Structure 1
Amino acid sequence: MSAASPAPAPAPAAPTPAAPGEVVPVLSVQHFTKKYGSKVAVSDLSLDVMPGDIYGFIGHNGAGKTTLIKSIVGAQPFEGGVIFVDSKNVLVDPVGSKQVIAYVPDNPDIYEFMSGIKYLNYVSDIFGVPAENRVERITTLANRLGITDSLANAIGSYSHGMKQKLVLISALLHEPKLIILDEPFVGLDPAASFELKKMLHELADRGSAVFFSSHVLEVVEKLCNKIAIIRQGKLLAAGKTDEIRGNASLEEVFLGLEAGAPGVSAEIAQDMATTKDGAAVQPVIPGAPVAAAPAAPAAPAAPAAPAAPAAPAAPAAPAAPAAPAAPAAPAAPAAPAAPAAPAAPAAPTVPGAPVPPGAPVPPSFPKEN
């Protein structure tokens, strides 16, 4: 009888103590695994986000970005690995980890019966923002995102973009150590998008960390100092943006890694290796320049087929003889005329009766003496 295999070691409840002077990650994900039933959504993913980082998390739809984000903020459990936020295990100390996090979901589902200002005061109360500070912070953030005039209105009257701005303000009110955003630029107008980028840089400059998912590669490339690329629940690359990108664009690196990922069918690889304008992109090795694909030689023209000989004309068919004319039918004898009916005797006139128009007038009888 064979011995039973040893059980896997439990995840640590706390991270390894830092050495003196060592900077501790604000977010540390270690061997994270999440399943939905028998389907593995994310497998053995690890990454660290340090203070001052603006960390971009990119991947195709369904790659596992939102799955990881929801587990970081405590919105769902997970089966394997461990997540630390500010050195707090999110499963062991969920309240402590949430106190330093701000979360902006991809769909701002908030209390629509409240006014905007009531919602912001409600969030300020939850995070303990002092009354003397919240007015100034709300005013400043609302002015920067252009939503001040709408704060007195019910949230139910807001557009998607206005709700997104309100959630962003609520996330920044308590000056979090870690802000997590899921597709934060969706629904924002260009002015608000520009202002949000400035706000995220200001947060990072103060020592907070930013971790956000996006499918807009140009924004990630310009905004983030670090990136992670996920494909079908597995991490393909993670590190400094410049080191991963090398001499290529982030779009070329992303498409190259996607096209060369194991388990990807030839059809998907061909689709992922094509940019928006249809130009082919070669698989990219991080740090190496991207070589242009050689042009395919033109195919030789096929020789013209010889013309087929004309078919001989068929002889004309002889005309059919005319059919003999049918004899005329004899005329039928005329029928004898019917005898005329005898005239009816005139009816006697009733004295005083009117005579119908057109009727013959009968002879009048002599009056009696």
Structure 2
Amino acid sequence: MIEVENLVKRFGSTVAVNGITFTVNDGEIYGLLGPNGSGKSTTMKILAGILAPTSGKVLVDGVDVSQDPLRVKEMTGYVPETPVLYESLTPIEFFNFVGSVRRIPEEKLQERVDALVKAFGIEEYLGEMIGSLSFGTRQKVSLISAMLHDPAVLILDEAMNGLDPKSARILRELLMDFREDGKSVVFSTHVLALAEMICDRIGVIYNGRLIAEGTVEQLKEFAHEESLEDVFLKLTESRDEVLGIVQALRETL
């Protein structure tokens, strides 16, 4: 379970996250949606213990992120929006490094590496330098490394970026398996159809504030809209702007 209470994060005079409160239950996939620059990635980094909050409280399975970020990192698997990897290592060297840091028994590590590498189809790249790999393959390496220790909480920031349709489907199925195992998943994406498909609840963040929260049906009812896309555009004050841009293009082209 993740409990976020009145979370605030400032960078100098800029308030990136402004008083956010939400809970992610065990056995739940929680979607965090918002435009670029809305505070999603900052929030995810705080949940993962990467950034310290300015104020407010975040508990991950009862552990306060501010007081014990190392313990939080031990319990979570985190995939950032852009893969952050040791590019001078090969994927197999990186997985072994992650296994040693996570103190995963060697036999268990090999078992999980074999299964995840096969699932995401990167066997042929295990001996290549990570820095030479495509963005999509590096994203798969990042995902595998986040899941090696079988975390209680997964925090995925735009984790579908760069994945081919097969790998995206496999990740989707894995996330639903995580949910069935009673684990918590926080998932951000710009693919609203995907959010509608897999998220139990969704929080919409805009200008650093959580402006709406609920199931897809609850959000549609709240915004009086028929699709999650229209809900999102309406709540983030983007719909009129989109229609204006499209109309201008039609008149010009």
Equivalent AA in structure 1 for residue 22 of structure 2: L
Q: Decide which structure has greater strand share.
A: 2
Matched residues, percent identical? 37
Equivalent AA in structure 1 for residue 212 of structure 2: A
Match of 1:141 among 116, 132, 136: 116
Match of 1:45 among 12, 20, 45: 20
Instruction: Identify if the C-alpha distance between structure 1 residues 220 and 269 changes in structure 2 by more than 3 Å, giving closer, same or farther.
Output: closer
- 1:87-166 to structure 2, matched below 5 A, reads 87-166=62-141
CA distance in 1, matches of 2:240, 2:130: 45
Equivalent AA in structure 1 for residue 241 of structure 2: D
Structure 1, unaligned stretches of length 5 or more? Answer: 1-25, 260-267, 279-369
Equivalent AA in structure 2 for residue 125 of structure 1: S
* TM-score (normalizing by structure 2): 0.92
CA distance in 2, matches of 1:275, 1:242: 28
Instruction: Identify if the C-alpha distance between structure 1 residues 146 and 44 changes in structure 2 by more than 3 Å, giving closer, same or farther.
Output: same
Larger Rg: 1
CA distance in 1, matches of 2:50, 2:73: 11
Match of 1:177 among 152, 168, 181: 152
Match of 1:190 among 165, 185, 191: 165
Once the two structures are TM-superposed, the CA of residue 218 in structure 1 deviates from its matched residue by 1.0
Instruction: Identify if the C-alpha distance between structure 1 residues 150 and 257 changes in structure 2 by more than 3 Å, giving closer, same or farther.
Output: same
User: What residue number does 1:271 align with?
Assistant: 241
User: 2:197 matched to 1:219?
Assistant: no
User: What residue number does 1:19 align with?
Assistant: none
CA distance in 2, matches of 1:54, 1:78: 23
Instruction: Identify if the C-alpha distance between structure 1 residues 275 and 230 changes in structure 2 by more than 3 Å, giving closer, same or farther.
Output: farther
Once the two structures are superposed, residues 167-211 of structure 1 have per-residue CA deviations (whole angstroms, 9 ceiling, x without a partner) of 111111111011101111111111111111011111111111110
Q: Decide which structure has greater helix share.
A: 2
Once the two structures are superposed, residues 284-335 of structure 1 have per-residue CA deviations (whole angstroms, 9 ceiling, x without a partner) of xxxxxxxxxxxxxxxxxxxxxxxxxxxxxxxxxxxxxxxxxxxxxxxxxxxx
Structure 2, unaligned stretches of length 5 or more? Answer: 248-253
CA distance in 2, matches of 1:166, 1:270: 39
CA distance in 2, matches of 1:52, 1:275: 41
CA distance in 2, matches of 1:121, 1:95: 20
Once the two structures are TM-superposed, the CA of residue 258 in structure 1 deviates from its matched residue by 1.9
Which one is further off, 224-233 or 243-252? 243-252
Which one is further off, 198-207 or 236-245? 236-245
User: 2:4 matched to 1:29?
Assistant: yes
Instruction: Identify if the C-alpha distance between structure 1 residues 271 and 133 changes in structure 2 by more than 3 Å, giving closer, same or farther.
Output: same
Which one is further off, 223-232 or 70-79? 70-79
User: What residue number does 1:64 align with?
Assistant: 39
User: 2:204 matched to 1:229?
Assistant: yes
Equivalent AA in structure 2 for residue 115 of structure 1: T
SS of equivalent residue, structure 2 residue 236: helix
SS of equivalent residue, structure 2 residue 83: coil
Instruction: Identify if the C-alpha distance between structure 1 residues 276 and 100 changes in structure 2 by more than 3 Å, giving closer, same or farther.
Output: farther
Match of 2:233 among 232, 252, 255: 255
SS of equivalent residue, structure 1 residue 99: helix
RMSD: 1.7
Specify which structure has the bigger relative contact order, considering alpha-carbon pairs within 8 angstroms and separated by 6 or more residues. Answer: 2
Equivalent AA in structure 2 for residue 251 of structure 1: E
Equivalent AA in structure 2 for residue 40 of structure 1: V
Once the two structures are TM-superposed, the CA of residue 254 in structure 1 deviates from its matched residue by 1.1
Instruction: Identify if the C-alpha distance between structure 1 residues 62 and 117 changes in structure 2 by more than 3 Å, giving closer, same or farther.
Output: same
CA distance in 2, matches of 1:142, 1:46: 37
CA distance in 1, matches of 2:44, 2:244: 28
4+ residue runs over 4 A deviation: 275-278
* TM-score (normalizing by structure 1): 0.64
Equivalent AA in structure 2 for residue 83 of structure 1: V
Once the two structures are TM-superposed, the CA of residue 61 in structure 1 deviates from its matched residue by 0.7
Once the two structures are TM-superposed, the CA of residue 80 in structure 1 deviates from its matched residue by 1.5
CA distance in 1, matches of 2:14, 2:134: 36
Instruction: Identify if the C-alpha distance between structure 1 residues 147 and 248 changes in structure 2 by more than 3 Å, giving closer, same or farther.
Output: same
CA distance in 1, matches of 2:229, 2:244: 8
CA distance in 1, matches of 2:79, 2:68: 21
CA distance in 2, matches of 1:248, 1:115: 47
CA distance in 1, matches of 2:36, 2:47: 19
Instruction: Identify if the C-alpha distance between structure 1 residues 58 and 110 changes in structure 2 by more than 3 Å, giving closer, same or farther.
Output: same
SS of equivalent residue, structure 1 residue 129: coil
